[in-house]
A and B are shown apart, each in its own frame.
Chain A
Amino acid sequence: MILSDLLHRPVLDDSGDTLGVASDARFAVTDDDSGRPAEVRLVGLIVSRRHSGSFAGYERTGVDAPWPIARFLRWRHRGSFLVRWEDIAEVSRDSVRLRSGFVRHPSSLASDDDGA
């Protein structure tokens, strides 16, 4: 599977209702002792309710300048959430379906160095 099989696909709940579009994929990077990124594992998908475009870096909570662009992009992606891999029931060629009772997690990256 390649990442394009996940991104920009409609995301559906277990009853088939559309929740939004998979606008990005979040990964957990684990460095080995030498600092090399030994493993990069999928954490989940960022689901945007209205737009599948990029957050342009403003998914990081510490980035808020220039403020008009930051406010516009945060408004544009309002309602976005992270759905973890454990809550993904099926990836098909035209959509991603979630399990019943899936949890909406905050979509922002609290910082670049957060643990998974």
Chain B
Amino acid sequence: MMRRTKQQRMPTRRRLIDASLSLLDRQVLDIDDVPVQVVTDIELSEVALDHPIPVGSPAPTVTALLSGPVLATRIFGGRPPTHRLHRIDWAHVAEIGIALSLSVRGSSLDVTWVERWLSGHVVGRIPGGHDDPE
């Protein structure tokens, strides 16, 4: 299936999406179409848990994409500790499509620090580790 290009996009509009269908478990690509992460959860603007929501309160908005280890919590319930979740600010999201496209390079994001650390400290020290993949 072809990705919709910026030239093919509709002008300013509103549309409805369901999180499970269009956001969760979607691949995130950076501005160079390099895979960055998979969306495992979504951060919403603050709503106080265990407190009544005043009538007329604005609905929360998406503030960030989250990625982290969720396999165990999806099977057994609960949620991973907040410090295990990496976030990508929603301001960096350029397009919602088959994948979520970002307007920045993945190397500038905290979510890729493990990959960058391994590249510099492990893979880069292996003979040939600096060569471009063929």
Taken residue by residue from 22 to 43, chain A's Cβ proximity to chain B (1 for < 8 Å, 0 otherwise) reads as 0111111111111111011111
Q: Scan residues 22-68 of chain A and give those whose CB is less than 8 A from a CB of chain B.
A: 23-37, 39-43, 46, 54-55, 57, 59-60
Q: Once the chains bind, are A116 and B14 in contact (CB under 8 Å)?
A: yes
Enumerate B1-45 residues with CB–CB distance to A below 8 Å: 6, 9-21, 23-24, 41-45
Residues of B42-63 contacting chain A, CB below 8 A = 42-47, 49-53, 55-56, 58-62
State how many angstroms separate the Cβ of A92 from the closest Cβ of chain B: 5
Known A1-B60, A2-B43, A88-B53; contact A35-B10, beta-carbon cutoff 8 A:
yes
B117 CB–A CB distance under 8 Å: no
| Contacting pair A5 B52 (CB below 8 A) | no
Is A17 close to B, CB under 8 A? Answer: no
Chain A's closest residue to B82 (CB) is A2
A-B contact count (CB 8 A): 143
Instruction: List chain A residues, Cβ under 8 A from B85.
Output: 2
Evaluate contact between B51 and A30: CB separation under 8 angstroms: no
| Residues of B in contact with A, size category | 35 or more
Given contacts A31-B13, A41-B60, A109-B18, contact A93 B44 (CB under 8 A): no
The residue of chain B having its C-beta at the shortest distance from the C-beta of A29 within the complex is B15
- Distance from A22 Cβ to chain B, minimum over Cβ atoms (Å): 11
| A36 pairs with B16, CB closer than 8 A | no
A24 to B16, CA, bound (A): 13
Chain B residues, Cβ within 8 Å of A116: 14-16
Interfacial chain B residues near A37, Cβ < 8 Å: 93, 95-96
> In the assembled complex, which residues on chain B have CB atoms less than 8 Å from the CB atom of A85?
59-60
CB distance from B96 to the nearest CB of A (A): 5
> A103 interface residue, CB < 8 Å from B?
no
Determine whether B66 belongs to the interface, using a CB cutoff of 8 Å to chain A.
Answer: yes
Give residues in A with beta carbon < 8 Å to B. Answer: 1-5, 7, 23-37, 39-43, 46, 54-55, 57, 59-60, 85-86, 88-93, 99, 109, 112-116
Ranked 9 nearest A-B pairs via Cβ: A35-B9, A85-B59, A40-B62, A3-B42, A42-B59, A25-B19, A24-B20, A92-B50, A1-B47
A–B pairs, 25, beta carbons within 8 Å: A2-B41, A2-B44, A3-B19, A4-B73, A7-B20, A27-B23, A29-B14, A29-B15, A29-B16, A30-B12, A32-B12, A35-B95, A36-B103, A41-B60, A42-B44, A42-B60, A43-B59, A54-B21, A59-B18, A91-B47, A91-B50, A112-B16, A113-B10, A113-B15, A115-B15
